[in-house]
Amino acid sequence: MESQGNGRRIRRIHLAGGCFWGLEKYMSLIPGVVSTQVGYANGRTEKPTYEEVCYEKTGHAETVLVTYEPERMPLSRLLTLYFDAIDPLAKNRQGFDIGPQYRTGIYYEDEEDREIAETAVAELQKKFGKPVMIEVVPLENYDPAEEHHQKYLEKNPGGYCHIGRDAFAKVRGKVETL
């Protein structure tokens, strides 16, 4: 989805990659990312709660809605940084987080993003020489998570995060050179 905000073009993509607390913090550090919001995507119910999603009752993925400026951070670069934060070979798990709600996925809102995402995943698969477990599918539904989950690691600096410090250091180093 594309819109104009304050004279700048902005787009949205939904990314799943384990617990959304860490992925939200990671994505928020990237220049060109305008905002992030954690939520639940592509499930069977409306307005699920965190508990319902965690107990695997809804089929939702913990997801980060990333709003970004494509002129500053093209989707292909954004996805490269996303791949650095996840284990693309793990199915329904990231770190110690296990279950279908922790699957990896790119949920797009328009066909242009689908093509970019499918190309990026195909290139990643070539790099590994085996199938990657990142689903690339249209966004069917999305509900924001409860307020206490938004910007969780900013509110709780010592909170749990499955993404290692090396990945955070790497994104900081990469974004400075982009």
The count of domains in the chain is 1
Report if residue 175 sits inside a domain: no
Q: What is the pLDDT of residues 75-118, one digit of tens each?
A: 999 999 999 999 999 999 999 999 999 999 999 999 999 999 99
Coil/strand/helix, residue 82: helix
Which residue from 79, 60, 59 is spatially nearest to 125, judged by alpha carbons? Answer: 79
| CATH number of the domain where residue 32 is located | 3.30.1060.10
Domain that holds residue 39: 2-157
Distance of alpha carbon 40 from alpha carbon 118, whole angstroms: 22
How many percent of the chain have pLDDT more than 70?
Answer: 94
* Cβ–Cβ under 8 Å, residues 125 and 161: no
Give the per-residue pLDDT at 109.
Answer: 97
Residues with a catalytic annotation lie at 19
Report if residue 75 sits inside a domain: yes
Q: What is the pLDDT of residues 130-177, one digit of tens each?
A: 999 999 999 999 999 999 999 999 999 888 888 877 778 777 776 544
Q: Is the pTM of this model over 0.95?
A: no
State mean pLDDT over 44-63: 95
Which residue from 76, 118, 99, 89 is spatially nearest to 18, judged by alpha carbons? Answer: 99
Report if residue 8 sits inside a domain: yes
Report if residue 176 sits inside a domain: no
* Cβ–Cβ under 8 Å, residues 107 and 39: no
Report if residue 167 sits inside a domain: no
Report if residue 164 sits inside a domain: no
